[in-house]
A and B are shown apart, each in its own frame.
Chain A
Amino acid sequence: MPEATDRPAAKAGSAPPATLNHALAGAGTERAALGDLRARARSAYEHLELPTWRRSGFWTTSLDQLDIDALEVRSHPAQSSAPAFLNDQRSAGVLVQRDGSVVYTQLDPALAERGVLLCSLEQAAREHSELFERYYMRRLTLDRHKLEAASAAFWSGGAFLYVPPGLQVPEPFQIVYEISTGATAQYAHTLAIGDRGSDLRLREYGLAEPIDGDALHAGQFELYLEDGARCRLAQLVDWGPGAVHDVSTSIVEVARDGWCHWLPALLGGSLVHHHDELVIAGPGGDMAFRGLFFTDAHEHLDVFAVDLHETGPSGGDVHWRGAASGESRASFEGLIQINPGAQQSHTYLQFHSMLLSAQARLDAIPSVLVSADDVSASHGGTVGELDEDLIFYMQTRGLTRPQAVRVIVDGFFEPLIVQLDDPHLERLIRDRIGAKLANAAAEIERYALAR
């Protein structure tokens, strides 16, 4: 079984670390028409086998159980309303893709008048070809592994967002990918651009019904923030209890004096492999890269988070938190990379974990690759279990054990959740964490008794 190459090369000095940008250099940087890119991706797809990622030397993320040929891309007709969970808040615009089709698009007319574009990526390729060709796949690769190639070759629907220079949009843009049925493949692609000096909020959701049978979400996400642009980006992934396999790559590029606050919340999926990479590409660029996850039952989660500084001065602050219950497995690999010449880059990576069951595994692998001398880059973290003294303390105040555990787990995630600065999304995430805890209550109880 070939191993996918999203990790730094094992031998020092042999090959450059395989972050997306280096991989892209290998793939060639010329901009080709969409048809050419699809053809190249298709050829890669046909030659590559399903990927396996080795984690911690102990376990692997493997898709060899997935019968990809049995999955179909399904089409759906347009619908007339947004998903109910978005109804109780204001949005700048909403785009919904169900399985293989964009079924709903809505954009605030006042924003459309000012030049904001929100449409399917298919439509953007036809109607906004100049923007499309300037940005599409600028940072993403298409041949590191079979599912990436599949996504680049076969994506349908897709989301395209463009916010013109200087425009500030306080309400969020919301992009929803839904999987509605089993035996489905969803090849998703979001391309978003915040032009010079713009300010936006963007949310991407990955959601599924409780499906029967296997499903695949092979997603690619790219966000480009031009000079001075600012964005709060959140991704909420909750594929529910069905057998959804999610192999996705997201990349955010921050140009000169740009800023991004990015929080992926990975809260459900039977197998989730995410490569999330934030690139500071211009001097003065700054970011806060947050993330949280909570795995339960037999879920399998594998995150590779990259904080890449191509130029300095630049700032970075990476802070992830993860909890695992049941017999789930989760791995967080965090990489800080400071390229040659990126002087005066300052960044910090921290990861905190909480183990809620003796059968769960949770690994953290931080690494730092620095090729400049006037920089600071370091990492830290904590490993935690449920604190029985704390539980007893709360019980003496009348809280039941499950209530006390909920307080502890909420408190564990709260430092990240409050930073979202978005009550609606905060509530969605807290509710989801609460539901996962309720599922895991019996195991958590057993774990406590066993200790």
Chain B
Amino acid sequence: MAELEIRNLHVRTEEREILRGVDLSVRTGELHALLGPNGSGKSTLANTIMGHPSYEVTEGQILFDGQEINELSTHERAKLGLFLAFQYPVAVPGVSVANFLRMALNAQREEPIKVKEFGEQLGHAVELLDVDRAFTSRHLNDGFSGGEKKRAEILQMAMLRPQIAVLDETDSGLDIDALRTVAEGVAKLHAEQGLGALIITHYQRILDHVRPQFVHILIDGRIVMRGGPELVERLEREGYDPIREEVAASA
């Protein structure tokens, strides 16, 4: 059982302050959704959790299992069991999906993984996620369609078996089939590996396929409302404006 905890997190870039006091906790086995309009700070939160060098934490803490990780480098956070599925995964030219997965697995281990063991794990993952095995010999994200890139993200997640994954608008730009693949993948890893996930999204439609227990609404760098799945339905009906007004009135 692992826990990612964020306390009073303030983050800025060179230009401006983006997060202005975020509190959030995600445990293994929990599914959280973070919704918010464009520019509310969703991607900043995702990148800051992984230690992206462009984002400066000016106040607050990120904790993993009670230990502050603000100063940890990105690869060390990955080794703790954190994972980020990217909104726009970049191409890794010249490296096949399978070879990249092997490198990433080896980065987390003392001894390199044995060929047979790796083959078995990969076989299991492609079967679980219903991915064509031939896909794993293509160069990672190089010339991939939007859907293939997201599938590759989920495949990496399945192989690396993180405790907590952050999915940064993994659903954006996907047709309905690809969206279903991604959502079902997350649900399966949640069920099989006890994955805890923070699903960041601009739309609500991914949440038709994967049911979060906890829903958070991020506006202007703060989480302004929390609830359960019913909050998603309300957003779908009303949009963000009534929530904004409600928050403004109570402030």
Contact = CB atoms under 8 A, between A and B. Distances in A.
Interface string B14-48: 00000000000000000000000000000000000
Nearest to A409: B94
B104 A390 contact: no
Nearest to A406: B103
Interface stretch (B72-80, B129-137, B231-239): B72-80
Given A398-B107, A411-B95, A393 B90 contact: yes
Contact of A398 (B86, B89, B160): B160
Contact of B92 (A388, A392, A396, A407): A407
Interface in A380-415: 387-390, 392-401, 403, 407-408, 410-415
Given A387-B90, A390-B90, A395 B95 contact: no
Given A392-B74, A407-B103, A397 B95 contact: no
Contact of B79 (A390, A398, A408, A410): A398
Contact of B78 (A390, A397, A415): A397
Given A390-B91, A392-B52, A398-B104, 6 more contacts: A396-B77, A396-B78, A398-B75, A411-B92, A414-B93, A415-B94
Contacts of B66: none
Contacts of B79: 398
Interface residues of B, number: 27
Interface of A: 387-390, 392-401, 403, 407-408, 410-415
Contacts of A396: 50, 74-75, 77-78, 83-84, 86
Nearest to B156: A397
Given A387-B90, A392-B53, A393-B90, A398 B95 contact: no
Contacts of B107: 397-400, 403
A415 B53 CA distance: 31
Interface of B: 50, 52-53, 73-75, 77-79, 83-84, 86, 89-95, 100, 103-104, 107-108, 139, 156, 160
Nearest to A407: B95
A390 B74 contact: no
A interface secondary structure, majority? helix
B103 A410 contact: no
Contacts of A399: 75, 103-104, 107
Contacts of A395: 50, 73-75, 78
Contact of A394 (B73, B92, B160): B92
B235 to A, nearest CB: 29
20 contacts: A392-B53, A393-B89, A393-B90, A394-B104, A395-B50, A396-B74, A396-B78, A396-B84, A396-B86, A397-B156, A398-B75, A398-B160, A399-B107, A403-B103, A403-B107, A410-B95, A411-B94, A411-B95, A411-B139, A413-B94
| Most-contacted residue by chain B among A392, A400, A401, A414 (CB, 10 A) | A392
Given A398-B107, A398-B108, A407-B103, A393 B93 contact: no
Nearest to B101: A397
A316 B2 CA distance: 59
A412 B86 CA distance: 23
Nearest to B82: A396
Contacts of A390: 90-92
Contacts of B89: 393
Contacts of B90: 387, 389-390, 393
B93 A411 contact: yes
A397 B100 CA distance: 9
A397 B156 CA distance: 8
B109 to A, nearest CB: 10
A70 to B, nearest CB: 44
Nearest to A413: B94
A412 B78 contact: no
A438 to B, nearest CB: 17
A388 B47 CA distance: 14
Nearest to B95: A411
A366 to B, nearest CB: 22
A413 B95 CA distance: 11
Contacts of B108: 398
Contacts of A393: 86, 89-90, 92
A42 B155 CA distance: 67
